[in-house]
Chains A and B, each alone.
Chain A
Amino acid sequence: MSADTARAFAPLHASHEFALVLHAYRQDYLRGLPAQVDAIENGWKKIEGSAIDLDCLLEIELVAHTIAGSAGTFGFGELSYKTRVLEYLMQELTIVEGPARKDYDRRISAAIASIRLALDREIVPDRVVA
């Protein structure tokens, strides 16, 4: 291959190598997600229907914020969007009072269930390499 040809193909090689590296990183990221969604679910069990534990609430919000921020980068757009919704609902929960609380509890439970479903859709045998 001439120097000119090598130069012409260099961006393609870089792009191809990037795609391979990204695929590996994406699998690694995906493997860590179930534990994070478990943390959201377990944290919510402590709060749902009872007095707000602010530390617990902030922990859930932080995990949701982290997933919302990073999942899109790894190509999991639905998961990113759904965790963004949860992050917003958790922020609202700190100011909700009275009868509206029950409604927020229902919405948050539904949001968490939809996050789990979105994750389950991503984790199929041909996408996660052990």
Chain B
Amino acid sequence: MSAPHLRVLIADDEAHIRKVVAAIVTSLGGEVVAEAADGETAVALAEELRPDMAILDINMPRLTGDAALESMLGLAPGLIGVMMTAQDTMDTVRHCLRVGAREYILKSNPAEEIRRILAESWPHYVAEVHGVAA
């Protein structure tokens, strides 16, 4: 039996960023179940695949990441939403947290730092999803 892990959906309109985030998720023991380049596709994939976590950019075509997260949480309230964005204004951060984002990570951080930030909370999320001790 495989160890409990997180099934993750990644949404960002930039392919380079999706690849890096996928590498981060994989290196933490997670499984990337889907990638999307826009918000609408991300919501559709979340509805179909029911991931444990969604890592979302904000500025995306068709539907912004914060709006996408709101829709996803409407479908699956237990989803762990992580915003990963270049936007650092307090209004945007506040809005995303109000919508239900659990983490807010700035893309201006190097990938190693983003991985470190996610690694810190990862065991807690695994525990939350699978009901085991962190």
Give the interface of A toward B (CB within 8 A). Answer: 14-15, 17-19, 21-22, 25, 28-29, 32, 65-66, 68-70, 72-75, 77, 80, 84
Contact = CB atoms under 8 A, between A and B. Distances in A.
B64 interface: no
Contacts of B86: 65, 68-69, 72, 84
9 contacts: A18-B115, A28-B16, A69-B17, A69-B107, A70-B17, A72-B86, A73-B114, A74-B111, A75-B110
A73 B27 contact: no
Given A28-B16, A70-B17, A80 B27 contact: no
Given A74-B111, A77-B108, A69 B14 contact: yes
Given A14-B29, A66-B14, A68-B86, A73 B23 contact: no
A25 B23 contact: yes
* Closest 10 pairs (CB-CB, A-B): A69-B86, A72-B108, A18-B27, A14-B27, A75-B110, A21-B23, A29-B16, A73-B107, A69-B107, A73-B111
Contacts of B106: 72
B71 interface: no
A14 B26 CA distance: 8
Contacts of A17: 27
Given A18-B24, A18-B115, A22-B23, A74 B29 contact: no
A21 B24 CA distance: 10
Interface residues of B, number: 24
A82 to B, nearest CB: 12
B16 A14 contact: no
A120 B20 CA distance: 23
A84 B16 CA distance: 18
Contacts of A18: 23-24, 26-27, 115
Contacts of A28: 16
B41 interface: no
Interface string B59-87: 10000000000000000000000000110
A61 to B, nearest CB: 12
A74 B16 contact: yes
Given A14-B27, A18-B27, A22-B20, A72 B109 contact: yes
A14 B28 contact: yes
A15 B27 CA distance: 6
A85 B59 CA distance: 18
